[in-house]
Structure 1
């Protein structure tokens, strides 16, 4: 019996014995669990206690009763019900709580108060303000379901068939209507007919409406993620037809009012595998510095408001990028042909011309419609080879332009660093496949000098466009990153301090964070603590509210440079045409722009979740045949459920569950991020080097410590931990202004 099946069976058994707690021996006897499975049963019981499902009294187990304490005793009650979206992410990680997300912030909700909500559902909830704590709520009604068609696996047990959703945030098993042996081991689409009743342990039910293929096949698993997230694989016929009817010829009417830069030396720098090139660069050295031209494909010229193309762009929100597959925001005729700035072709563009002095300081800037003729298409690797002094076949004119670009980029980097731009050292994972589509190996993609060059130039254009629209347009979309929460920064400082990393809080908080990131002594420290610093911050988002971007340390910021793949950028182009270039007669209403900002943020979250799910699919597929193998690793995360370990030889994370640690009685210290054994004082912490064995690959990758992995264990000093030392970081009691964000994708 698999652990997940055993969880459910034990809960059902104890539900029928509410008045009579059962010992483990009694549970095993009633369920006919053989002796060699007793250890597995003990682990499941411990997991259920950690998950707040059971309580243990004198070696006997029973269901944890639902809290009956009057709400007025713990909270200040509100009479009105509010609407929000249920987020089950913490439940998927075995925590006993979840969140309800609203435009006014997140509300904490205990697992007992989730009613029958599933991840993504729109719910009505009753809010409470708990004294001295975060906002709390109780879900009262389900308004609408996020998705009635779920992707997942069919499993059989004792002659019964169950559906397990591929999304771990949909954490219940589903009973299958009219099951068939042909479903066993298949990845399917289940159409839910009844969502069951979680409080009474009644399973939801559904019917298989489509078989996607064999479970475990990477392409099938990726398709399941796409279907689960309701991503549009096909364009509607009217959208394709509209795109195909667009002329590829540039007419005199198209050129009217545009500045002609077809004779200006121009080039693009993109990934080697890219097919859409939406930005190009021209640079001219002058007596006092440089003239920099950032040319962006004029997608808005072809994608007019209210056209089928624009409506579909709003529906998609952005392009979705997966290993070996892209779901574009716009049809290929637009993204790869009309608006791709391919070499030796005339293309319509929007250009930001910046005049900068020799120190990289902006003297003046302007934005206008243009036409260009790109001379060269470069890959990042080619540019880096030149910068590294390797032999190159590039022309002298191109080499000169790249060297000037490099010098300007260095000046811009210095300016941004001085302003408080926060740089994170977080390499991306690249997958290398064999001929059958399975992962052969992993590469870590570092941000190189060529990437930073393009990023610097795009930031310059985005910042100017945001500033221009702020002064001219009645409404705009901004890419904002709000300042971190005071308590989170204070907590971050204390956590870093416990690992010997000092973060003195200055008036310029950006500088404080910059300093601690630069002080990381080894790459391992960056692997662990860059992520912790990042998680202490807010998430970047799109909004019509003007708020500074904390992470970039920029007062005015938007996204203008990728209209092929982002709705925000496309809308910004139309606003520029209306209020800056004055060539657009269409004016968006304030409500329309607000809607586009909301869609952009919502779709970005979906894209990030889907890309993360696909990464998990590939990682799990790769590790399934590694069960039993031993690896060295680094502890990069600690929580109340256990340890997160990053393998050294493979850039993959796995879980060391607390129930698998020897000695029992482990306690989580959330400020220091340590697991401490109450009996022995031994503890595990971040940066610990461990030897682990791969034990299971299911919804996640699970490790166990090997026999020889105990030598690193530390002994905890409880007395010292309770003393307030002079070196403890304390944040000043002040309110931060506006804005923070994760470092945006390049460009």
Structure 2
């Protein structure tokens, strides 16, 4: 009995006495193979045996010479053709918004790498993901070469090999400077492997070894643009993390066919003087506020606060091209040199921007507070509004402080003073609630006209900032409460309490400063706030803030509610920024469905996918945070590149067994000092004290210490800074030193890093 080929579903068997299979039959067999297919599998499939095997071998060799076959005798395939099932990497989208992928493995000798149009309906797949797909070849002229149906999602490659190409001055070829800060070495690129890349281009590359004992050279796979020419250093992070840049033509075209809002089913709020308060350089305005004293005698001294949010759900309908694109992006990504938005500019900066004196559809919540700021009730409506004024935080604050601008002057009594009075009441309830009160000012990088760092500022935290933040929090809570009451699914914004392991590390550290935090069973944000308040009297309050921040869990999106520890809230959902967060758009749709506010609410198809969508947008938020952080590092490294040898005031921001991370006082730039840069002594890593302590002298360096450092190296493409320590170590209560955690005199390799946060 003939054995069925392991590499095919089925094949037409041709007995040996009827001759060999035709070339077309061989190609058809190879193209239908599910596994490996070589000479042996072909012989088995077509019943070729005995002396006919020699004739088959000659036939296969002839097909290879003709250029119709590729591979070796164990792995044959039609030249230039993909197998029936292949591993693919999603590389972009076509003009219709469909995902486009390319094979993970491909021999360039077979020609141009084929493209695959993926059918991804109902699957959370994005650019940079790897998938296993079943392929169908498409007719020529269709754009893509194949159509792929998802079999399963594969693990992503650990990291994309990206670098800056530096062309040699003569002889062709050049070198690549990798952007990975853990791999600060250059790779040689031979003249035949440049793939037409230009000097300074950001490139994706692969490593290839030319001989058994030869070092790896780099082969450029594709050029991704020049960050310097475009004055967009964020280009590196965009490609490193696979962040979608341009919108497909079909998505932009859909923007031109969106339905205009009408008053049908809407409450008219156009006479209510809602105002927007945003950063001075804000391009879109998706939230507006208004407050007034409650005229209800039963709520004497109370307030009615209205929070109106742009009605993005009116334009972005479930299942539309705009919706699919927004879900792929997950959120807007903010860089100092540009924004990569979740929605096209037509929507984010026009249709859904609450422009001054222009009618805009909105979803609004009317919040009723008593004199102590406790919420008594709330009501959601779908409405039409008209912003009475567009103010910046600084402008609104100056008006309340007694210096109103010409725009603010007529708003003082009717708008601004009631807002501040309502906030004073709500702030009482907030203080009673006791959310985590970390004081970690965020620095802002300002660029000049050439896209270079002009200066780094720490914006003042104003009451106006706190006012808007607290009213948005109250609106978010109201959204979660309403959906729970209506028994509709909620994508919560949750923040878990610190883990037992992190809490133990924090407790061990605080004990070295004679400070304590309660055990997990009695833990509330108030306990941390007491520690933070006590830290203000210590020499290093920033240190305590930093360590408590590091002890916290990361916030995320999920349909399962565990509360928000940091805000000390039982239920919380993101409702107030649907222009820039997909999670908020889902909440808008859920509210529309729950309250019967229109036909464009949460669809039945979305409900069973909420858990996977929540996981995906949580991951996309992490991606955005990493990209934003890395871009800031690269901008600062470029800013300091011509100051190698200069000295800086800094503070120790991280302690590892191989060295110290430091943060510069003026710019907030992070850099690394390997143990070899600390002097001749051996240092023990005392983990509980977040310190490196000399084994001979007992002196050391700990997290939060103010130090002076000298810049030794700056690598802008990697965002890497290396320093040496100038400040001698000091004595302190470092706690017991443990054996087996000694740091070496110098690390085996340079490592650079930085932590980030987002509420």
TM-score strictly above 0.5: yes
The Cα RMSD (Å) is 3.3
Unaligned runs of 5+ in 1: 1-119, 125-140, 724-741
1:677 aligns with 2:697: no
Hey, what does 2:291 align to over in structure 1?
283
Counterparts in 2 of 1:658 and 1:722: CA distance versus 1, 3 Å: closer
SS in 2 for 1:565: coil
Say if 2:492 is the partner of 1:478: yes
Q: How does 1:392-471 map to 2 (within 5 A)?
A: 392-393=405-406, 394-471=408-485
Select the residue among 226, 245, 252 that pairs with 1:233.
245
Q: Which residue is equivalent to 2:387?
A: 374
Determine if contact 1:643/1:655 at 8 Å carries over to the other structure.
yes
Whole-angstrom CA distance in 1 between matches of 2:577 and 2:353:
11
Change in Cα spacing, 1:180 to 1:584, as seen in structure 2 (3 Å) is closer
Q: Give the secondary structure class of the aligned counterpart of 1:494.
A: helix
1:471 Cα deviation from its structure 2 partner: 2.7
Q: Which moved more, 1:582-591 or 1:346-355?
A: 582-591
Shift of the alpha carbon at 1:621?
A: 0.6
**Partners of 1:551 and 1:743 within 8 A in 2:** no
Q: Does residue 243 of the first structure (1) align with residue 255 of the second (2)?
A: yes
- Report the CA distance shift for 1:694/1:581 in structure 2 as closer, same or farther (over 3 A): same
Sort the Cα spacing of 1:195 and 1:142 in 2 relative to 1 into closer, same or farther, 3 A.
farther
What pairs with 1:721-732 in structure 2 (closer than 5 Å)? Answer: 721=736
TM-score where L is the length of structure 1: 0.72
Distance 1:617 1:343, change over 3 A: same
Question: What is the aligned partner in structure 2 of residue 73 from structure 1?
Answer: none
8 Å CA contact 1:155–1:184 kept in 2: the answer is yes
Q: How does 1:143-542 map to 2 (within 5 A)?
A: 143-145=155-157, 150-154=162-166, 161-168=174-181, 176=189, 178-179=192-193, 186-192=200-206, 203=216, 205-210=218-223, 212-213=225-226, 219-246=231-258, 249-250=260-261, 254-287=262-295, 288=300, 289-393=302-406, 394-505=408-519, 507-521=522-536, 525-542=540-557
Match of 1:552 in 2: 567
Q: Using a 3 Å threshold, how does the CA distance of structure 1 residues 301 and 310 change in structure 2: closer, same or farther?
A: same
Distance (whole Å) between structure 1 residues aligned to residue 223 and residue 545 of structure 2: 43
Deviation at 1:564, TM superposition (A): 0.5
Measure the CA separation in 2 of the matches of 1:589 and 1:181: 44
Structure 2: which 5+ runs fail to align? 1-127, 133-152, 739-755
Q: Quick one: distance in 2 between partners of 1:648 and 1:448?
A: 22
Counterpart CA distance in 1 for 2:347 and 2:486 is 29
Please state whether the residue corresponding to 2:355 is helix, strand or coil: coil
Query: How far 1:170 moved relative to its partner?
Result: 6.9
- Offset of residue 407 of structure 1: 2.3
Q: CA deviation at 1:590?
A: 3.2
- Aligned residue number for residue 89 of structure 1: none
Using the TM superposition, give the Cα deviation of residue 482 of structure 1 relative to its aligned residue in structure 2, in angstroms. Answer: 0.8
Shift of residue 504 of structure 1?
Answer: 4.4
CA shift at 1:470, angstroms? 1.9
Does the Cα contact within 8 Å between 2:633 and 2:670 map onto a contact in 1? no
Measured after TM superposition, the shift of residue 371 of structure 1 is: 1.0
Larger radius of gyration: 2
Instruction: Give CA deviations for 1:122-173 in whole Å, capped at 9, x if unaligned.
Output: 899xxxxxxxxxxxxxxxx985536767344448799985434323367786
Query: Does structure 1 retain, via aligned residues, the 8 Å contact 2:232–2:451?
Result: no
Residue of structure 1 equivalent to 2:8 = none
Using the TM superposition, give the Cα deviation of residue 587 of structure 1 relative to its aligned residue in structure 2, in angstroms: 2.8
Within 1, Cα distance between the matches of 2:482 and 2:222? 52
Deviates more, 1:514-523 or 1:363-372: 514-523
Q: CA distance change for structure 1 residues 142 and 346 in 2, over 3 Å: closer, same or farther?
A: closer
How many residue pairs match? The answer is 581
Match of 1:663 in 2: 680
CA positional deviation for 1:639: 1.8
- Cα distance 1:356–1:142, how it changes in 2: closer, same or farther (>3 A)? closer
- CA distance in 2 between counterparts of 1:717 and 1:292 reads 51
The one-character-per-residue Cα deviations of 1:160-191 (angstroms, maximum 9, x if unpaired) are 85434323367786664624599686232224
Shift of 1:363: 1.2
Matched, 1:564 2:579: yes
Are the equivalent residues in 2 in contact too, given 1:218–1:438 (CA < 8 A)?
Answer: no
Q: Counterpart of 1:519 in 2: which secondary structure?
A: helix
Q: Structure 1 stretch 384-393 or stretch 371-380: which is displaced more?
A: 384-393
Change (3 A) 1:572 1:591: same
Q: Which secondary structure does the structure 2 equivalent of 1:617 belong to?
A: helix
Deviation of residue 510 (structure 1)?
Answer: 1.3
Where 1:209 maps in the other structure, the secondary structure is strand
TM-score (norm 2): 0.71
Distance 1:653 1:341 in 2: 38
CA 1:491–1:209 in 2, change beyond 3 Å: closer, same or farther? closer
* CA–CA distance in structure 2, aligned partners of residues 218 and 667 of structure 1: 46
Q: For residue 590 of structure 1, what is the aligned residue in structure 2? A: 607
Distance of 1:696 and 1:359 partners within structure 2: 56
Q: Distance in 1 between matches of 2:235 and 2:440?
A: 28
Tell me, yes or no, if the aligned pair for 2:197 and 2:203 is still in contact at 8 Å.
Answer: no
- The 5 Å alignment of 1:571-586 reads 571-584=586-599, 586=603
Between the aligned partners of 1:464 and 1:190, the Cα distance in structure 2 is: 47
Paired residues of 1:634 and 1:690 also in contact (CA < 8 A): yes
Contact 2:175–2:187 at 8 Å: present in 1 too?
Answer: yes
Q: CA deviation at 1:640?
A: 1.4
Q: Do 2:660 and 2:675's aligned partners in 1 also have CA atoms closer than 8 Å?
A: yes
1:483 shift after superposition: 1.2
